[in-house]
Every structure is written in structure tokens, then in C-alpha cells.
């Protein structure tokens, strides 16, 4: 790959990042959910299967066991956070948002990676990242509107992120975060079916970018 190719990839990443840089901040502002059609957010064909997450705000108790299980199972390097639980302001409202990589139908991270470290699995749509290919350019951090890729300068030198516990799923198990949730607030499945769940909406929480940017494989049941 030429130097020009890499420069063009970086320019693309910066352009996408400029559009969404303020989309997710530490302590995501939580407000009313846009009652957008969740069907409109999906671009998967009827022949393909796309796994996704469903998060029910009405059941979340902010125990953060989802993030803890992810950390213990995947052995995050210090400073990385593959899954985060955000708390709405004011905290007294007890409204939370648990997020990780959304394994988007149109992943921006994959589009800007100059070394093709990202791939999308055909059988389930999981967005996989190969740390051995990664050169640590961090363009994907600029591109992802959900801040899912993690890069620790003092770490391995490679980007890391949620893998949807692909290896565990391949062996018939569930993602660690889903297994650890004591209230059933976090579940997963075929995103086409999850979007049919009564009360489920597209992940367009006030402060998050339009779902149409990357078509995230996530639906939320909001706490009214």
C-alpha cells in the first residue's frame, strides 16, 4: 500500500470524525429518544444474518456487571474500555446506557482502515479486528461515531475493541456481557428480529449520531 493510500484513508477518517466527534462524550447526555422507525435503520438483506444487541433501559440497575464480565473475559489492556455504562444527568433519574461496539452494517472503522485489519463475518455480521495486522494509526477512532475502538498509547500499540465474544459464540455460548446481566437488560440476537420487539427504537439517544451513518446493530427500549 502506498503512502498516498494511507493519507487518503486518514483524510476520510478525519472527515467522518469531524461529523461525529461530539456524538459521544464522557457522560453521554441522555434525553428524549427519537421515536424513529427501527426498521428504517436496518440495511441487512433478507438472506444475511446480522447479530446485534438489545438494551432495555427499564431493566438496567447500573450494576456494571456487563462491563466487568467483558473485561475479565477479554482481558482488556489497562486503560481500554470495550463496554461502558453511561449515567444520565441528573443521576437521580436512574437512566443508564450500556454500549460497546455496535457491529454496524456499514462500519466506518472498516472503511478507513489502511491495512484491512477489520473484517465483517459473513455468517453473523460481527465486525472483527485483527490486532496482528493493526499498525496503530488509530484512524478508526476518528471514524467511529460511538468511540468503540480503543487505543492505549502505552499499551500494545494496536487498537482493540469488542469482539461480540465471537469465539465463545462459535462454541455455542453467549457473549460475556449478556450472560452476566442479572436483570436481562442486555440481550442479543438477530437484529431483524430484535427490531420487532415492542417498544424497541433505533439507538438515537439525544447526544448520539443518526443511526443512518453506520447502521448500528443495536436497539434500545427506552425508559420513559
| Domain CATH number, residue 127 | 3.30.70.20
**Inside any domain, residue 86:** yes
**Inside any domain, residue 12:** no
Q: How far apart are CA 53 and CA 219, in angstroms?
A: 7
**Inside any domain, residue 210:** yes
**Inside any domain, residue 154:** yes
Has this prediction a pTM greater than 0.75? yes
**pLDDT tens series, the chain, 224 aa:** 333 333 334 444 444 444 444 334 333 333 333 333 343 344 444 457 899 999 999 999 999 999 999 999 999 999 999 999 999 877 778 899 999 999 999 999 999 999 999 999 999 999 999 999 999 999 999 999 999 999 998 889 999 999 999 999 999 999 999 999 999 999 999 999 999 999 999 998 767 889 999 999 999 999 88
Q: How many structural domains is the chain composed of?
A: 1
**Inside any domain, residue 94:** yes
3-state secondary structure of 52: strand
Per-residue model confidence as pLDDT tens digits over 135-156: 999 999 999 999 999 999 888 9
Q: How far apart are CA 41 and CA 106, in angstroms?
A: 11
Q: Could you please report the per-residue DSSP string of 66-125? A: HHHHHHHHHTPPTT--SSEEEE-SSGGG--EEEE-----SS-HHHHH-TT--EEE-TTT-
**Inside any domain, residue 131:** yes
**Inside any domain, residue 44:** no
**Inside any domain, residue 169:** yes
List the domain range (segments joined by +) for residue 100: 51-221
Amino acid at each position: 500500500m502506498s503512502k498516498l493510500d494511507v493519507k487518503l484513508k486518514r483524510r476520510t477518517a478525519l472527515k467522518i470524525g469531524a461529523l461525529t466527534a461530539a456524538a459521544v462524550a464522557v457522560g453521554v447526555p441522555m434525553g428524549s429518544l427519537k421515536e424513529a422507525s427501527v426498521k428504517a435503520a436496518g440495511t441487512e438483506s433478507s438472506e444475511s444474518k446480522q447479530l446485534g444487541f438489545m438494551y432495555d433501559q427499564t431493566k438496567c440497575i447500573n450494576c456494571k456487571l456487563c462491563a466487568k464480565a467483558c473485561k475479565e473475559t477479554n482481558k482488556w489492556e489497562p486503560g481500554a474500555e470495550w463496554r461502558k455504562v453511561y449515567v444520565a444527568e441528573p443521576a437521580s433519574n436512574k437512566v443508564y446506557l450500556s454500549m460497546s461496539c455496535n457491529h454496524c452494517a456499514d462500519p466506518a472503522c472498516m472503511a478507513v482502515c489502511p491495512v484491512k485489519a477489520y473484517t465483517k463475518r459473513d455468517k453473523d455480521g460481527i465486525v472483527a479486528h485483527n490486532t496482528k495486522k493493526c499498525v496503530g494509526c488509530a484512524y478508526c477512532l476518528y471514524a467511529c461515531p460511538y468511540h468503540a475502538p480503543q487505543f492505549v498509547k502505552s499499551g500494545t500499540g494496536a487498537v482493540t475493541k469488542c469482539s461480540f465474544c465471537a469465539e465463545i459464540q462459535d462454541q455455542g455460548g453467549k457473549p460475556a456481557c449478556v450472560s452476566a446481566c442479572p436483570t436481562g437488560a442486555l440481550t442479543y440476537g438477530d437484529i431483524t428480529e430484535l427490531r420487532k420487539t415492542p417498544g424497541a427504537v433505533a439507538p438515537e439517544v439525544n447526544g448520539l449520531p443518526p443511526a443512518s451513518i453506520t447502521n448500528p446493530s443495536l436497539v434500545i427500549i427506552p425508559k420513559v
